[in-house]
Amino acid sequence: MNLCVVGAGYVGLVTSACFSDLGHSVACVDIDRTRIRLLNRGKVPIFEPGLEELIARNRRQGRLKFSTTIGPAVRSSQIIFIAVGTPAKTNGEADLSQVESVARDIGRHLNGDKVIVNKSTVPVGMGDVVASIIRERRGGRHRFSVASNPEFLREGSAVWDFMNPDRIVIGAGDPKTAETVAQLFRPINASMLITDIRSAEMIKVASNAFLATKISFINEIAALCDRVGADVGEVARGVGMDKRIGAAFLSAGAGYGGSCFPKDTLAMIAVMEREGLAPRILKATVQVNTEQRKRVLEKLKEAAGPLEGRTVAVWGLAFKANTDDLREAVSVDIIRALREAGVRVRAYDPAAMPKAKALLPGIAFARDPYDAVRDADALLILTEWNQFKEADLKRVKALMRRAVIVDGRNLCDMKAVRDLGFVYRGIGRSGPA
């Protein structure tokens, strides 16, 4: 099929590349001229394992093209995907202006029967809004239908997740539309749920809000483990063995971040309050996550003593490993708090430093993890990169002024680190010092 994907961010690029790899002809459109110029030169503006190779292969084979002009892409396509951002407003509601703008553009250029599929994360009812906007702009000349196909991609493994999903969710108002969208995914062996549009929209935000809640739950348990001398890793392992619960997202740490969990949880809160409901659990989820960042700083002060004038090395800036995404990253809040406290920060991240340099002025950036810890009074680990797991801690200790590690992702073997002479604090697993 001929497809148009509007939006060249994480979701749009992965969707475009993967559909083209499945044999479809894809036109990916974005208003960001710099981004499209980079893509047409073979450069991918985001760090995502496997994506650059996938884009290069399908561009060579002529199945994937990038443009800033939406009209020709809409007119030549049978199915149009909306994959633009819906960032949070200051009141927590999703900013839907980009989705609405794309819907207006689609309506203006509609030239035949089309299926418009929303992949952007939106509140319940946005499918009706998109349909209304297109209907108003098309002038009644052409038929179209709107569907919802929420994405469940994890940054750092998005290409794998697209090709090997837990489930494919399609929301549509009629069987013909649902089948048209379902045909795109036939080469992928996955469970498929076909439902109504509003339920599909709800599935996406409810999934993210639940996972955020699961993370905050284990972080709250970690705080109790610190007090009573239990190991949250062992607790999570035992709890996760229960098939009703599962082990995923039970890793205690410095808190969740990224473009989805914070935004979608706040959006769900806003929608519930608008509908006259009290989102008690979700509000607590957000509060626990905010406090978790403060707990990391408290552990650092406890382990290293007064921080003013000290040098703290930070391993990890991205909100998670295998990405360069700094949106809502724990590191940003913590580093800013350290700078306000008069701390010198020297940071290293395998992928996120180019973006961090603009976002975090006043900190030093290291060549590698060992350069970061040179003469540092403490090491703070904030992202779970494999590179940090495999680091030579004997060398780290020899380079540091003081042997202090605060492990915000529980990467280290606690006993081994302490046997080397480090003062060590993890999350919910510190045990006796």
- At position 243, the amino acid (one-letter code) is K
Closest CA to 126 of 26, 10, 205: 205
CATH number of 210-425: 3.40.50.720
SS3 label, residue 117: strand
Q: Fill in the DSSP letter of residue 245.
A: T
Q: Are 100 and 71 in contact (CB under 8 A)?
A: no
Predicted local distance difference test score (pLDDT) of residue 114: 95
- Return phi, psi of residue 304, to 5°: -105, -10
Q: Do domains 2-195 and 210-425 have the same CATH topology?
A: yes
pLDDT in tens, 86-138: 998 888 888 999 999 999 999 999 998 999 999 999 989 999 999 999 998 88
pLDDT in tens, 226-254: 999 999 999 999 999 999 999 999 999 99
In a 13 Å sphere around the CA of 403, the CA atoms on its Cβ side amount to 13
The answer to whether residue 272 scores a pLDDT higher than 90 is: yes
Q: Are strands 25-29 and 64-67 parallel, antiparallel or unpaired?
A: parallel
Q: Fill in the DSSP letter of residue 314.
A: E
Q: Is 396 exposed, middle or buried (0-12, 13-18, 19+ CB in 10 A)?
A: buried
Q: Any residues with CB less than 8 A from the CB of 203 and at least 6 apart, and which? A: 150, 169, 193, 195
Alpha carbons 193 and 208: distance in angstroms, whole number: 18
Alpha carbons 284 and 279: distance in angstroms, whole number: 9
Predicted local distance difference test score (pLDDT) of residue 69: 96
Predicted local distance difference test score (pLDDT) of residue 92: 85
Task: Compute the Cα dihedral for 234, 237, 242, 248 and give only its sign.
Answer: positive
Closest CA to 207 of 224, 193, 219, 221: 193
In a 13 Å sphere around the CA of 118, the CA atoms on its Cβ side amount to 33
The answer to whether residue 430 scores a pLDDT higher than 80 is: no
What are the strands, taking DSSP E only, across 105-181?
A: 114-118, 144-148, 167-172
pLDDT in tens, 336-390: 999 999 999 999 999 999 999 999 999 999 999 999 999 999 999 999 999 999 9
Token match 């299926």: residue?
Answer: 115
The CA–CA distances, whole Å, from 40 to 35, 49, 55, 68, 154 equal 9, 19, 10, 11, 25
**Mean pLDDT of the residues in the chain:** 95
Predicted local distance difference test score (pLDDT) of residue 43: 93
Q: Give domain 2-195's CATH number out of 3.40.50.720, 3.30.420.40, 3.20.20.10, 3.40.50.970.
A: 3.40.50.720
Task: Give the tokens for residue 101.
Answer: 């703008």
Q: Measure CA of the first residue to CA of the last residue in the chain; give whole Å.
A: 62
Predicted local distance difference test score (pLDDT) of residue 142: 83
Q: Where are the alpha helices (DSSP H) in 390-431?
A: 393-399, 414-419
Q: Are 231 and 300 in contact (CB under 8 A)?
A: no
pLDDT in tens, 302-323: 999 999 999 999 999 999 999 9
Q: Delimit the domains of the chain by residue range.
A: 2-195, 210-425
pLDDT in tens, 175-228: 999 999 999 999 999 999 999 999 999 999 999 999 999 999 999 999 999 999
For every residue of 356-387, DSSP letters joined together read: HHHHSTT-EE-SSHHHHHTT-SEEEE-S--HH
Helix (H) or strand (E) segment spanning residue 262: helix 261-274
Confidence tier at 289 by pLDDT (50, 70, 90): very high
Q: Fill in the DSSP letter of residue 94.
A: B
Task: Give the tokens for residue 70.
Answer: 């939406």
Closest CA to 426 of 254, 217, 237, 250: 254
Q: Are 66 and 2 in contact (CB under 8 A)?
A: no
Alpha carbons 86 and 123: distance in angstroms, whole number: 10
Q: Are 334 and 380 in contact (CB under 8 A)?
A: yes
Q: 260 catalytic, yes or no?
A: yes
Q: Are 145 and 116 in contact (CB under 8 A)?
A: yes
The CA–CA distances, whole Å, from 223 to 47, 123, 241, 358 equal 33, 33, 21, 34
Interhelix angle 261-274/197-228, nearest 10 degrees:
110
% of the chain exceeding 70 in pLDDT: 99
- Alpha carbon 95 to its chain's center: 17
The answer to whether residue 433 scores a pLDDT higher than 70 is: no
